[in-house]
Structure 1
Amino acid sequence: MTNDTKKKGFYLALIATLLASIVVGLGAYTRLVHAGLGCPDWPGCYGFLTVPDEAHEIAHAESLYPEAPVEVDKGWAEMIHRYVAGTLMLLVLAIVIQAIRHRREPSQPIKLPIFILLLITLQAAFGMWTVTLKLWPQVVTAHLLGGFATFSLLFLLTLRLSGWLKGRSVARSAAKSVGVLKGLGVLSLLVVIGQVSLGGWVSSNYAALACPDLPMCQGQWLPPMNFSEGFDVGQDIGPNYLGGQLHAEARTAIHFAHRIGALLTTLLVISLVLISFRKAATLDIESQSSGNKLRMLSWCILLLLIAQVSLGLSNIIWSLPLNVAVAHNLGGALLLLSLVAYNYFLFGGEQSSGKLATWRAEA
């Protein structure tokens, strides 16, 4: 990647993507230390801009919120997450302003930055509702998915501005062959999104330790489960969901579904990687750079999948250690990003100038 391929806003988008990864990690940490209600109001904390820590401030805060005693550590976990998320929103606003200023330049993205700004604004609303609705699982899961979507789209914007994974046109004779990769790529992306959604539902309903053993669950292959309660998206709004409200069999159903989803996701993504390696080997010598990029993306997907599965198993074996659980959350985000990059490359992204890449027909 050379400097002349980068478009205006590349470095801002790159910084925003890195900052979004921190926001995702902080969000996971906040949930895992049960600090989602560390500040019972929004956007401040007990009516303060920072966490009250002086005796008179704590006394005043608890007089305003007698049902929520001040826990300084949890308050800071929540507020730091808000501060960093707010900084990210300002950075995205700067990206939009720059995109508008340079909108007349060739291939300068404008719709994507604006959409990201709208999405992160909605994310701020979900952050507020997470607190005001007392960790209602539907909102918590939507907030997590919104964070992953923001991270993914900022990464996509960075790719577009970098000029690195410029897509290549595919010869008509090989369209069917490449179509297999495109179909598997999209399907894998959708399945990973579904698995991330299941992971969010596990987290928001405190079901991570519902099955404390491997490979069975509670010493049984099919333990007692209540799927209707576990996946009842019509749960009442009102109770404080800190620590969860579901019965044990409902949490077991959620955890079990996540395990099955992990197995199916693993099989599908491994199939995608193996077929990608095979297709990359059929590239003509003129398209060797494209073949190398496809192999590199496939290796990234495979390594991230292995890491993510290993982290998921470690969560169960060692009963959800904090650092492993946060890493598992970030691992899911990075696996998602790798598939975003894979599909962006495969579907063409920005068409390269010059000679079109061609694919040899399979032997």
Structure 2
Amino acid sequence: MFVLQLALIGLCVALFPLSYVLVKGDAAKFRKLLWVTTFITLDLVMFGSFTRLTDSGLGCPDWPGCYGTASPFVAHHAIRLAEAAMPTGPVTMTKAWIEMTHRYVAMAVGVLIIAQLLIVVLRRRQLRVSWLWPAGLLALICVQGAFGAWTVTLKLQPVIVTIHLLLGLALLAGLGWFAASQTPQPAHAPARGAEVRRWRTAAVAGLLLLIVQIALGGWVSTNYAVLACTDFPTCNGQWLPPMDFAQGFHLWRKLGLTGNGEVIAQDALVAIHWTHRTFAVIVIAYLAWLGIRLKRFAVLRGPARLLLLMTAVQLLTGLSNIVLKWPLLIAVMHNGGAAVMLLCLIMLNYRIASSRPGRPGSAGKATRTAVTL
């Protein structure tokens, strides 16, 4: 019964963005729905980091509800008992609400993707959009939901939490690409198209580097290794501090423990932090170079400039996390900045790919998406 109540809550949350799309005067409502869903998914990724950083991942220690109910209101008694037994433990009323709000928004994103699929199926002649995109996104969010469940049932096991993060970003990237494919792109001179296409490999390489760096950042966060190095640019006063890479990057283990079940050593946490910090130098340098080179093309100038800005922001927030001892707001900004950088690279890669000869023109896309819901 409570599962049905959860579904209704997710539907109610989704009605807000759906209503916004319907009441707007824009004729291309399907395109607006895609961008609104992308924006909410970005918010979901950031709120997921807030949930993790506030230690609220086990605020409701079961899934998909909270102590077998649809709301912390109903589970009030059980939450208070757990909080009284462990006042500084993982279960408190505040943490329960943070965790359940994250789940409600995730369900709302699922409803919005189902709406996209239904619209594509019912309006396929007007839209001329393959149903495979929304169907694939729906499958992805179902897998994401499964890893969300395992995050709780396996008690925040680092590899599961990191995969959960990466799947959320994959969903964001897929929605961004889908939305871009239904949006008229800036025109460019045909003579410049060939020059733009030469940057495709470099743009894909930038995307892959960022994905690896995000995975390393997720590993740092899920292992609570942000403060394993307490100074910068050295790490605990050394350029090469003692590190245990075997323990630090042993994937299948419980939070705070080694693969043998022992308490994880500080040297392992230092190895995790040092690897993320060192690889960041490579990624920042490469993406700064890429952004500078791509912003000379009019069709790529917008996302390239935003990429440069966010690269600088990521550098500043990353350093601030160390110097200021991991303040919550800056930590959430650092996570959100990585998600925005991912979207920038998705936009750059899409615009480079769409410059190939024979790709549909922007005018055609504008016509196909200008339908009501």
Q: TM-score of the superposition, structure 1-length normalised?
A: 0.83
- Counterpart of 2:348, as a letter, is Y
Deviation of the 1:111 alpha carbon: 1.7
* Residue 317 of structure 2 is aligned to residue 299 of structure 1: no
Aligned-residue CA RMSD (Å): 3.1
Instruction: Say if 2:247 is the partner of 1:229.
Output: yes
Separation in 1 of the partners of 2:100 and 2:62? 11
The aligned runs of 1:93-104 (5 Å cut-off) are 93-104=114-125
Structure 1 residues 43-62: aligned runs within 5 Å: 43-51=64-72, 56-58=77-79
Q: 2:168 & 2:353 partners in 1: Cα distance?
A: 25
1:320 aligns with 2:326: yes
Greater Cα shift, 266-275 or 199-208: 266-275
In the alignment, which residue of structure 2 is the partner of 1:250?
Answer: 268
> Cα distance 1:110–1:5, how it changes in 2: closer, same or farther (>3 A)?
farther
Question: Distance in 1 between the 2:197 and 2:293 partners?
Answer: 12
Q: 1:190 corresponds to which residue?
A: 208
User: Does structure 1 conserve the Cα–Cα contact (< 8 Å) formed by 2:124 and 2:130?
Assistant: yes
Find the counterpart in structure 2 of residue 271 from structure 1.
Answer: 289
What letter corresponds to residue 317 of structure 2 in structure 1? L
Q: Is the counterpart of residue 162 in structure 1 residue 168 in structure 2? A: no
Q: Which has the larger helix fraction?
A: 2
1:1-20 to 2 correspondences below 5 Å:
9-20=30-41
Deviation of the 1:14 alpha carbon = 1.7
| Paired position in structure 1 for 2:166 | 145
Amino acid at match of 1:199: G
The farther-off stretch of 32-41 and 177-186 is: 177-186
Secondary structure in 1 matching 2:126: coil
| Equivalent residue number for residue 83 of structure 1 | 104
Question: Displacement of 1:120 after TM fit?
Answer: 0.5
CA distance in structure 1 between the aligned counterparts of 2:210 and 2:26, rounded to whole angstroms: 31
Q: Which amino acid aligns with 1:184?
A: A
1:283 maps to what in 2?
none
Which residue is 2:317 aligned to? 311
Please state how far the C-alpha of 1:348 moved relative to its aligned partner: 1.0
Asked whether the equivalents of residues 169 and 348 of structure 1 are also in contact (C-alpha less than 8 Å), the reply is no
How far apart are 1:238 and its partner, in Å? 11
Q: Structure 1 vs Structure 2: percent identity of aligned residues?
A: 39
Deviations 1:46-73 (A, max 9, x none): 222211588744467789x9xx774111
Amino acid at match of 1:198: L
2: distance between equivalents of 1:263 and 1:55?
47
Name the counterpart of 1:339.
345
Matched residue SS, 1:108: coil
Q: 1:240 to 1:249 in 2, by over 3 A?
A: closer
Confirm or deny: 8 A CA contact 2:66 2:75 kept in the other structure: no
Alpha-carbon distance change, 344 to 4 in structure 1, aligned in 2, over 3 angstroms: farther
Aligned mates of 2:125, 2:149 — CA distance in 1: 37
Compared CA separation, residues 137 and 195, structure 1 to 2 (3 A): same
Alpha-carbon shift at residue 41 of structure 1 (Å): 0.3
2:45 maps to: 24
Alpha-carbon separation, structure 1, partners of 2:184 and 2:362: 12
Partner of 1:114: 135
Q: 1: CA distance between counterparts of 2:299 and 2:45?
A: 27
Give the whole-Å Cα distance in 1 for the aligned partners of 2:170 and 2:219: 16
Structure 1 CA distance for aligned equivalents of residues 351 and 26 of structure 2: 16
The Cα offsets for residues 201-223 of structure 1, whole Å up to 9 and x where unpaired, read as: 11111111111101100010000
2:360 is equivalent to residue 351 of structure 1: yes
Change (3 A) 1:6 1:219: farther
| Structure 2 CA distance for aligned equivalents of residues 9 and 28 of structure 1 | 29
How far did 1:339 drift?
0.4
Q: 2: CA distance between counterparts of 1:297 and 1:251? A: 35
Question: Structure 1's 274 and 218: CA in aligned 2 closer, same or farther, altered over 3 A?
Answer: same
TM-score, normalised relative to structure 2: 0.81
CA distance in 1, matches of 2:302, 2:236: 40
CA shift for structure 1 position 45:
1.0
Taking the aligned partners of 2:348 and 2:240, their CA distance within structure 1 comes to 36
Change (3 A) 1:76 1:303: same
Could you tell me how far apart the structure 2 residues matched to 1:236 and 1:137 are?
7
Q: CA deviation at 1:224?
A: 0.5
| Structure 2 residues not aligned, in runs of 5+ | 1-23, 364-373
Kept in 1, the 8 Å contact 2:258–2:264? The answer is no
Judge conservation of contact 2:56–2:91 (CA < 8 Å) in 1. no
Q: Residue 116 of structure 1: SS of its match in structure 2?
A: helix
State the Cα distance separating 1:235 from its structure 2 match: 2.3
- Which structure 1 residue ranges, 4+ long, deviate > 4 Å from structure 2? 3-8, 52-63, 168-171, 236-241
Map of 1:200-211 to 2, 5 A cutoff?
Answer: 200-211=218-229
